[in-house]
């Protein structure tokens, strides 16, 4: 899985660097922010980098909690940007309105409470397993993992219908390809929630699902950006999924 960790970080870094020129010019700053957060999340998910950063923070696995919050922020921005880009007003209101606010608050609370209740002594990077005493601590670890997947699954489930509609529409090929990639990322993100409650023997599968979700989202956003470049060059507004330049 170390190869997958570094591969995901490499893809995120590449996508981020490609977006720097537009960000400097003030174009699509939200997408740049999304890719920056995604890169930070991917960096913290690399075991060696996680261990180094957590050591600086005291070695109590606070880095794991910070990673969850960063993931939530990234998913929130992704949800808002994609629903605006696809003109999915109903889905946008579900994420930005009170349902989404309550979901975010409850998921943050669940992550924080389960983290504080766990005994993380001697746990490896990312809290993949716990060496604390008792089955209760093992159960808390499972709940903590599920809580960390809950908000991404919530937002991704909302995004599935408009993304599927865009992928099956008569929009330009790049827009449909981008929608399909993000759709696949959303599906994997939704699956990550039930998989996180699976037995410990499924740990490898959970990590694969998580990284597949990240790669789907990041590569899809990169394709959307490329479609925007073509639209700006050709003057064809239909070549991009949105005219929103934030």
**How many domains does the chain contain in total?**
1
Please write the tens of the pLDDT for every residue from 94-122: 999 999 999 999 999 999 999 998 877 66
* Structural domain contains residue 244: no
Q: What CATH number corresponds to the domain at position 187?
A: 1.20.1070
What is the per-residue pLDDT for 244? 44
Q: Is residue 245 part of a domain?
A: no
Q: pLDDT under 70 in the chain at which residues?
A: 1-2, 121-137, 200-203, 228-246
Q: What is the pTM of this model?
A: 0.87
Whether residue 146 lies inside any domain: the answer is yes
Domain annotation covers residue 189: yes
Q: Is residue 246 part of a domain?
A: no
pLDDT for residue 6:
86
| Owning domain of residue 35 | 2-239
Tokens 């919050």 belong to 69
Spatial distance between the Cα atoms of 202 and 128, rounded to a whole number of angstroms: 11
Note the pLDDT of residue 243: 46
CB 209: neighbour CB atoms within 10 A? 21
Q: Is residue 94 part of a domain?
A: yes
Integer angstrom CA distances of residue 172 from 20, 122, 216, 239: 25, 52, 19, 6
């Amino acid at each position: 899985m170390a190869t997958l960790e570094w591969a995901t970080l490499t893809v995120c870094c590449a996508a981020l660097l490609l977006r720097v020129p537009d960000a400097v010019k003030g174009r699509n700053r939200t997408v740049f922010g999304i890719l920056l957060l995604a890169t930070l999340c991917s960096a913290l998910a690399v075991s060696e980098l996680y261990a180094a950063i957590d050591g600086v923070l005291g070695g109590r696995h606070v880095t794991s909690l910070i990673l969850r919050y960063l993931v939530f922020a990234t998913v929130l921005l992704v949800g808002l940007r994609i629903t605006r880009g696809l003109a999915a007003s109903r889905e946008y209101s579900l994420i930005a309105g009170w349902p989404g606010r309550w979901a975010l608050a409850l998921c943050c609370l669940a992550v924080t409470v389960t983290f504080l209740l766990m005994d993380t002594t001697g746990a490896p990077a990312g809290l993949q397993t716990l060496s604390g005493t008792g089955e209760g601590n093992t159960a808390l670890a499972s709940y903590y993992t599920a809580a960390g997947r809950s908000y991404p699954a919530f937002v991704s489930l909302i995004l599935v219908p408009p993304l599927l509609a865009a992928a099956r529409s008569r929009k330009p090929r790049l827009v449909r390809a981008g929608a399909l990639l993000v759709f696949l990322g959303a599906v994997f993100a939704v699956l990550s929630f039930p998989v996180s409650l699976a037995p410990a023997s499924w740990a490898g599968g959970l990590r694969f699902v998580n990284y597949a979700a990240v790669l789907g989202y990041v590569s899809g956003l990169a394709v959307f950006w490329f479609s925007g470049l073509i639209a700006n060059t050709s003057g064809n507004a239909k070549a991009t999924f949105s005219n929103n330049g934030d």
